[in-house]
Every structure is written in C-alpha cells, then in structure tokens.
Amino acid sequence: MKPNSGTLVINIMNGGKAEAYEGVYQCTARNERGAAISNNIVIRPSRSPLWTKEKLEPNQVREGDSLVLHCRPPVGLPPPIIFWMDNAFQRLPQSERVSQGLNGDLYFSNVQPEDTREDYICYARFNHTQTIQQKQPISVKVLSMDSLNDTIAANLSDTDIYGAKPVTERQPVLLTPTGSTSTKVELRGNVLLLECIAAGLPTPVIRWIKEGGELPANRTFFENFKKTLKIIDVSEADSGNYKCIARNILGSVHHVISVTVKAAPYWITAPKNLVLSPGEDGTLICRANGNPKPNISWLANGVPIAIAPEDPSRKVDGDTIIFSHVQERSSAVYQCNASNEYGYLLANAFVNVLAEPPRILTPPNKLYQVIADSPALLHCAYFGSPKPEIEWFKGVKGSILRGNEYVFHDNGTLEIPVAQKDSSGTYTCVARNELGKTQNEVQLEVKDPTMIIKQPEYKVIQRYGQVSFECIIKHDSTLLPTVIWLKDNDELPDDERFLIGKDNLTIMNVTDKDDGTYTCIVNTTLDSVSASAVLTVVARPNPPFDLELTGQLERSIELSWIPGDENNSPITNFVIEYEDGLHEPGVWHYQTEVPGTQTTVQLKLSPYVNYSFRVIAVNEIGRSQPSEPSEQYLTKSANPDENPSNVQGIGSEPDNLVITWESLKGFQSNGPGLQYKVSWRQKDVDDEWTSVIVANVSKYIVSGTPTFVPYEIKVQALNDLGYAPEPSEVIGHSGEDLPMVAPGNVQVHVINSTLAKVHWDPVPVKTVRGHLQGYKVYYWKVQSLSRRSRRHVEKKILTFRGNKTFGMLPGLEPYSSYKLNVRVVNGKGEGPASPDKVFKTPEGVPSSPSFLKITNPTLDSLTLEWGSPTHPNGVLISYILKFQPINNTHELGPLVEIRIPANESSMILKNLNYSTRYKFYFNAQTSVGSGSQITEEAVTIMDEAMASRQVDIATQGWFIGLMCAVALLILILLIVCFIRRNKGGKYPVKEKEDAHADPEIQPMKEDDGTFGEYSDAEDHKPLKKGSRTPSDRTVKKEDSDDSLVDYGEGVNGQFNEDGSFIGQYSGKKEKEPAEGNESSEAPSPVNAMNSFV
C-alpha cells in the first residue's frame, strides 16, 4: 500500500502470477470517529486462449442456397472482438446478402459463384492482452447450375433424364434466431441489441416494429444492414415484444423477441452526512430501486448494525435510521447496502455529533463575475454545530438583504436571479450560532453580455460564386472573445477556399458540397452566444419535358408539360414560346408565361399559323435550356384582326407626303394574300379620301402636295378572305422647305467683359415652312481693341431650342470687337441670316507679364527686363513692382513698391544692399485693376575689399583647418535635417516663416467673415520647396486664353429655359507679395561666407 494513502498497488512485472491475486477486495478507513468501507473490487486476470485444433471440411453449396460459417472463438476475459479477413489481411466485404452476426458467425442469405474462395478466416482480437488469435481458413465452393449439369451428364447414360433445376427463388427463412419467438433480458441503462438474419432469394429485407408501441425516438439505431436493432440507455419502459420481419417478393417470415428490462439497484435517495449538536434529532435515509426490488441493510463502522454496539439514541426503521437526543458518543460512520441479483449499492454516511462555533469555508474576498441579466451565485460555504444562521449584507454599512430579488439557499449561497450592472459591489456573509459568529466578504462584478450585433444571414449562391457570412460582435471591454465557425455543427472543412476574417467567413469558388448550416460561436470566460445561417447552392433549373397538346380549337389549344429539377431554387414561372413554321421557321417568339406552380396553360392562337411550342423554366438564378419542341398544329385562315401600327406621314421633299407603317408579322396576316389599303386627304379641307391598294410593303409616297400642310391618313390591312376592321386616323405633314425670312430687331446687351445677352423678334409661323426647331446665333471676334490687329476669324455657334427670343453669349474676350447674326432653323435646315450686329466688350484685368528676367547684378543694383502680358485685356496704364530682402535666416524684410509706366520694358534698380537676396513681385494694370503677378529672386554681389580679405585669410593654415571642421559640422547638420524631413518633422525655417507673415497679405480674422488662409500655387512654390529658378532667371507663363464653355445646345453649348448660361466662370489671379508665407531657397555660398566672416 502506498505511504500516506489508501491505494493498494499489485505489481507482477518483477515476478508472480496474476492468478495469485484473483479475488474480491474491500478497503476500510478507520479513525476514532468511526470506520468507512469501499465497494467490493473484483480482480480477475485477463485470458486470451488459443483456438482448439479442429479439422475443417470444405463447404460445397449450390448457387442460391444459404450458408453459415461458424467462428466459435475461445472464451476469453474480456470477450474478444470478432472479424473476418482473408489471407491478405483484407476485411471480407459485407452487404445485405453477406454479414457477420453478433455471435461472430458469417451468414450468407444466398451464395453466388463469386463467394467461392479458400481463405475465409475468423480472427479474435483480445484487446486487454493485445493479441489476435486466428481460426484455420475455411473453404467454400459454390456449385453453379451449369457446372452441376455437366457433372450429372458425365455420369448418366444417354437414355437417362438428367439436369439440375435452375436457380429458383425462395421465400425468406430465418437463420437466427430460430423459431417464431424468443426472449431477451437486458439491464437498465445498458444497450439492447436484437438480431434477425434471414435466408432467401432474392435477399430478404429486414424491418423492425414494437408491438403495441413505437420504437423509442432518438435512442433507436439500425446496424448491420438493418439486421440488428440497437436501443441505447434502455429503461423499464422499453420492455415488450419486438418483431422482426424478413420479406422478399415471394413472401415474408417474422420472429417475436420478448424483451424484459431488469435493473440493478439504483439510488432514489442516498444517505448524506449528518452533523448534529448534542441533544439534536436527525435521520439517515437510504432509498433505492431496482428490478427486482433491492434489499436494504445497514452497517455501523463496517459492522452489521444488528451486532454493532448499541446506541440508545438511534432506531432503525427499514431504509431509515432515526436519531433522538444524540450525544457525542453517537458519532459513527453508517453504511447502507442496497442489493439484488444484478448488483448492489454501498454508501457511507458520517454522523458527526459536535459543538462548533461557525466557520466560513469560502475564501475571503473571492471575486465572482457574471453577465448582466443572468443569475449570480455568491457562495458562503459554512460549518458549525448547531447549524449556523446565514445573513447577507451589501456594502460596508448595508442593511440585511431581503426581498423577492434575492434567493437564499440552505447551503449559504446568495442567488441574485437577474443581476444588473448596479448589482456589482461588495457582499458580506455573516454566519452565527449560539457559540459565536463570523463573516466573510466577496466581490461581484457584472459584465456586459456578449452580443452578435450583425448575424450571418441566409445566403443563396450560384455554383462557383463567392459568399461571405458576417459575424460582428459587441462585448464587455474586460472580456476577451474567441470566434469559432462551424459547418453543420462540425469543424469547417480543411480547405483553403474557406477564409476566416476578423468579422466574417468567406467561401471562395462555392461547390454543391458547401450546402449547409454555418454557425458563428463567440465564447468568453463568462458567456457564449451563437448565430447560424443556411447556405443554399443553387443553379438554373433543368428544362421541362414531355410537352403535350390537347383540346385543339381554331383559336385556342391547351399545352401541358412536366417540370425539370429546380436545383434548390424554386421555379418562379414558365415561359412559353412558339415557332411559326409557315412564315418564320426557326424563329421562336414569346407567347406567354405562367406561375411556377402551373404545368398547363390555355393558349390563344392566330389563324393561318403552323404552331410549335416549347417551354422554358425560370428561377431566381436564370432560365433553363428550352424544352424539346411540341408537335406542330396548323390553324385555319381568317380576315385580319388588326391593322398596321405606327402609321406616320412625313414629307421627304417640299412637294410630297411619305406614308409609312409597320407591316403585320406573318402570323398577323391571318391568311394568304396580305395587302394594305392606303387612304389620305388634306386636313381642314372638304376633300374626299384618296385610296390605293398596295402589296405587302411598308411605305407609299404621295406626290404633288403643297409644302408643309397637314393630312389625315389611315392604313387598312386585307387578305384573300377580306378586310381588317376600320383603322384609326393619324395626322401627318407634307414635306418642309427652308425658312423664308430672318429674325428681326436683333439687339445685344453687354453684361461684362466676357458675357453678353442677345435678343431678337420671332419670325412669322407661316414663313418657317416646317417644324420650328429653334434659332442659331453665329458670332465671331473681329479684332482686339488693345492691339488693333486682326486675326483669323473663327465663327462660333450657339443653338437655342424652341421659340426662344434671347440667349447668352459666354466666353467672350475683354476689350474686343464682335459681330453676330441670328437664323431660324426647321427640319429642313437654316433660314437666311439677320444683318450682322457689331458689339464691343469692355476692358478687363490683364494676364501676368509674359516673363521677368533679372540680369547684371552689382554691389547695389540689379537690371530687370520683362515682357508685356500675352492678354492685356485693355489699355495698360502701368506696371507694379514690389520687392523685399531675404536675410541669412530666411526672414523677409520690408516691402518696397514701385509703379512703372506701361511703355517701359526694363529698368535698373539701384541703392540695394550688397550680397543680399531679394524677392520681386511684378504685375500689370489696366483701368479695371491689377492682373496676375509673376515672381523672381536675385542676389547682389559682394564687396571686393572684403572678398580680398577673405582670400588672404583663406591662405592661412589655421583657417583651412577651421573651415574643414565647419564643413564637417554642416554636413552632419544636413544629414540630421534630411532624416527629420523624411520623418515628417518641421523645419525651423518653416517655423520662422510662419512667425513672419507678409504685412500686406496677413490672414484675415474669422470675425471679419473673410478668408483666413492665403496660398499661391505658382508664385510661392519655389520658396516653399527651396528649389532654384531657371538658369536664365526667366519665368514664363503659359498663355491662358479663356476657353469657351459651350452654353448652347448641340455642338456649342446649352442654356436654361430662360436663356441663362448653365455653368460658372472663375479666373486664377496671382496673389499679392507675401512677407511671412514664404520660405526661401538655401543661401548661396557667397552669402554663407559673408555670414561666417
């Protein structure tokens, strides 16, 4: 026995035989308070005996007969597992015809020639000893009827009648169990196995029923091709008669198995430990049931209570021991034994008589965590004698807890049935009896529940598509959730097509096997939630088949069909199409459609059509392939039922009327010889109808008509059997001609330098000679008033639809002379132009100077050269030059402004500081205002004397060394700046620029209601980026001609109904020079040297 333990170890690894330890063992634990005993423990050595030697005769059996190959394994402990294999250790295939019984025998309901073999081997596997025993091979030879007839013929004379009967079918006969009835006893809670194996040809099918009842649901299973009925966890209610029925086409046979379920003893009430204080009363109850009913016996400290020391405080009453006025000497361990022929139960109960003050066994400050709206159980395990009373408090100075919102359990547990967030806090449990009191605090935290706020949804997907299920969760921030996806309550297939994301599951390239239910399970340490959705893989339906025509009449027929497979997507409707083999063979037309629940339809027919029909099934995925065509059905001829549609009269020339219509389709003719009667007369004139009958065409031309007058027109169909109903009349017009007059009183109102409004009077309606489509305005620039030079005339056109009398002319150039004229437009073309109207646009602001070049730098002067604006847009009155110095710390100095006459193109700027960088801002002005500015930078040269001193110093050795050190330091600083810039850091230069803004361009305050930011995309980029200007210091601006935004209709533009222009104009201007918003390029080496010296 192990030290400090009750475990008994039997070790035979180093010698000894297991048989020597075979027997029944029982453990007894004893101290001064009493003795407890264990259940009986039976030890039996395992056995795996060998098969007995036996001589096995070959089995010869006729084809179709039944056969049983007996295994008869040796008796082992525990019983072996039986299976049949061949010499190659391959399991023999089993089926409804050939199967292994519960006893291990191999049953053939009927043998076939392929059953012939010499290696039917029965194996017995003894799992406990890990050995396999093998029976000698059994030989089976099946005699077919052909070989049997040959054998008989060889042994009989020619005069004998011979020949074995052919294989005949036989009624079922039970191979096991035998007879018509049998019995079976099984214990409660075990697995009930009932078996029926039958012989017969064809192979019988087995069916099971329970007489007078149903087979228990969820516990019934069929095994061994339904030859074995399996019922798990049987109870007394499963007792009864079970019938197996074996049936083939020749008849049936049955067997009734009477099942009785017995029961080893099982507890109803097991005795429980009892703690009593001196003088108290108590009871021990031991109740058990079984079949047959078990006997109850009591022991005290392992001794039958009848011979145990007497105790005046106890009284035995069957399954109950009653204690009255117990004393401390009454403490003992009592055993209850309940037994019948199928087993026994043994339970120990300790009766402890003692006087103890209360003790709380639950650890102090224990933390309980629960989910909101769920029960919270706060434990207060206690001990004491007499039994303590338990009270609960919340908080440090809380009152005692009472009320319906709490449940107080006998074991001291406090239950809060529906915990809320405000239930969190400290709870105190107080236990008291007459010997004292104690208390313990526990903590309760109520967490937010885990929720799936976006659940996976039912999805229908086509094969080879992609589908995604969402599972978005919300959880308590202190809980860590895990998400698991299942398919049909099992793990997802190990397939790379399944992609699990943070909030979703995606299935790529969906196949039919992906059908099923997908479940998202979210687990935390406190709760678990799940949501499921079904995935249905669908496809287009299969085509209908077996089309049939019935109830043939002249104008109707009934069509019926059988639907094809809907492929997981219900058929929503059927589309019926027809083919007219007489007029359009091979062309299928839509006839009608019916709901998907309908498989017959009554079809309306037209005369003189050779019909064939086909049906197409439609579901949500798409249309099926068409069915095979039905048989043909030819209807009789009749008058036309309808006339041509879309009749129109439109002239192609000023003196004709072209009458057109849509001809009837072949089946609409209702008979042979389809023609049309075309009739017309001038409207509002008392004329008779003029008619003509034409062949099956779709156009007729009436010549010699007046220009653009209305006509009444009708077209009627007829065939060899007669006319269609009287047609309705339509109104048409003869041909149009060009308008005769031009619009008059053309006036132009100039709105601003780029926009003008033109007015005109409408022309008389009679002079339009057609459908009025609108007016066209032709306008073009004659010359620029500032240059007095003509250029190539490019006319522009704006079209105004309808009867408009005004329009807007956008995109005009300032300070220019224009001409325009107006023309009326009809369906034939344009009329004559109105006289040219001349108008002029006022001045505008100029564009920026074409270039600014700074040359000839000296100690105190710079030469500036510039080009006039490409688009002066008026008379230039002057140029404005502003400039300011930039010091070595990139700060901008005071701004100086100079006005220059407009006729100048260069100037020398004097009295500048030597070796100083300047920034220049330059723009032109007209009387309207200043134009866009152009910017440039330049540097004056150094003082020659200072330069010579620098040369002298530079020849000194100490200066050369100092310069090398400075260069190295500058290199290090540049590297650091480069790294900071790449990391998004802010340069000191930028900070200084932000601190010194241009006094003339300060950001406006918010309370002014004006803009608070200034930027210039072109002028200021060189300073902000620190890039150099071109080597020739010339900045050229691209020409910026105002583009014409087409406002009219057609090619040139569009107007609103009121003639106003649709769109906006915006122009870009150079900003004013800035002092604080700019950053300069790095100073030149000369400046750096001056700065150092």
Mean pLDDT of 504-527: 93
Query: Strand 181-187 vs strand 251-269: parallel, antiparallel, or unpaired?
Result: parallel
Q: Specify the pLDDT at position 983.
A: 60
Angle at 567 between CA 565 and CA 571, to 5 degrees: 70
pLDDT at 362 over 50: yes
Q: Measure the CA–CA gap between 551 and 530, rounded to whole angstroms.
A: 58
* Interval 512-531 mean pLDDT: 94
* pLDDT given for residue 1034 in this prediction: 39
Average pLDDT, the chain: 85
Contact criterion met (CB below 8 Å) for 367 and 320? no
Residue 621 confidence class, pLDDT cut points 50, 70, 90 = confident
> Would you say residue 557 has pLDDT above 60?
yes
Is residue 1010 scored above 90 in pLDDT?
A: no
What is the spatial distance between Cα 637 and Cα 608, in angstroms, rounded to a whole number? Answer: 5
Band (pLDDT 50/70/90 cuts) for residue 1048 is very low
Say which range, 729-738, 787-796, 1004-1013, has the weakest mean pLDDT. 1004-1013
Q: Is the pLDDT of residue 994 over 70?
A: no
Rounded (to 5) percent helix, strand, coil in the chain: 10, 45, 45
Comparing CA positions, the residue from 435, 422, 424, 438 lying closest to residue 390 is 438
Which segment of 126-130, 133-137, 729-733, 827-831 scores lowest on mean pLDDT? 126-130
Select from 677, 712, 680 the least CA-distant residue to 696. Answer: 677
Burial of 13 (0-12, 13-18, 19+ CB in 10 A): exposed
- Half-sphere CA count of 410, side-chain side, radius 13 A: 1
Contact 924, 876 (CB under 8 A): yes
Distance CA 324, CA 551 (A): 99
On whether the CB atoms of residues 451 and 475 are closer than 8 A, the answer is yes
951 pLDDT higher than 80 = no
Q: What is the 8-class DSSP label of residue 582?
A: T
Question: For the residues 809-833, what does the mean pLDDT come to?
Answer: 93
pTM of this prediction exceeds 0.85: no
Q: What tens digit of pLDDT does each residue of 43-95 get?
A: 888 877 888 888 888 899 999 999 999 998 888 888 899 999 999 889 999 99
Q: What pLDDT was estimated at residue 150?
A: 61
Residue 243 reports pLDDT greater than 60? yes
* Banded model confidence at residue 953, pLDDT cuts 50, 70, 90: low
Residue 1057 has pLDDT above 70, yes or no: no
- Residue 25, Cα to own-chain centre: how many angstroms? 64
Q: How buried is residue 915: exposed, middle or buried, by Cβ count under 10 Å (0-12/13-18/19+)?
A: buried
The CA–CA distances, whole Å, from 299 to 553, 670, 792, 805 equal 100, 111, 131, 123
pLDDT digits (tens, 9 = 90+) for 171-180: 999 999 999 9
Q: Nearest to residue 255, comparing CAs of 214, 208, 291?
A: 208
Q: Calculate the CA 1001 to chain-centre distance.
A: 55
Quote the CA–CA distance of 884 and 22 in Å, as a whole number: 116
CA distances from 489 to 451, 511, 522 (A): 20, 19, 14
Evaluate whether 256 touches 263 at the Cβ level (below 8 Å). Answer: no
Q: Identify residue 186 by its one-letter amino acid code.
A: E
**Out of 4-18, 168-182, 645-659, least confident range:** 4-18
For residue 594, what pLDDT is reported? 95
Q: Please report the pLDDT score of residue 279 as a whole number.
A: 86
Residue 957 scores a pLDDT above 80: no
Task: Examine the pLDDT at 615 and tell me if it is beyond 70.
Answer: yes
Which residue would you say has higher pLDDT here, 1089 or 541? 541
Span 324-345, average pLDDT: 91
User: Which residues neighbour 420 within 8 Å (Cβ) at sequence distance 6 or greater?
Assistant: 372, 373, 446
Give the residue carrying structure tokens 């200066």. Answer: 959
Can you give 603-671 as a three-state secondary structure string? EECCCCCEEEEEEEEECCCCECCCCCCCCCEECCCCCCCCCCEEEEEECCCCCEEEEEEECCCHHHHCC
Q: Tell how strand 59-62 and strand 138-143 pair up.
A: parallel
Contacts of 33 (CB under 8 A, 6+ apart): 331, 332, 333, 350, 352
Measured CA angle at 812 (ends 808, 817), to 5 deg: 110
Rounded Cα distance between 608 and 112, Å, is: 66
- Whether pLDDT at 1009 is above 50: no
With a pLDDT cut of 70, the percent of the chain lying above it is 86
Asked if pLDDT for residue 228 goes beyond 90, the answer is: yes
* Confidence grade of residue 146 (pLDDT, cut at 50, 70, 90): low
Give the residue-averaged pLDDT of 763-787.
90
* pLDDT (tens digit per residue) in 751-760: 999 999 999 9
Position 403 scores a pLDDT of: 80
pLDDT at residue 790, rounded to an integer:
59
Largest CA distance in the chain: 155
237 CB burial (10 A radius; 0-12, 13-18, 19+):
exposed
User: Does the pLDDT at position 1003 exceed 90?
Assistant: no
Backbone angles phi, psi at 574, to 5 degrees: -115, 135
**When comparing pLDDT for 212 and 403, which is higher?**
212
Give the per-residue pLDDT at 741. 94
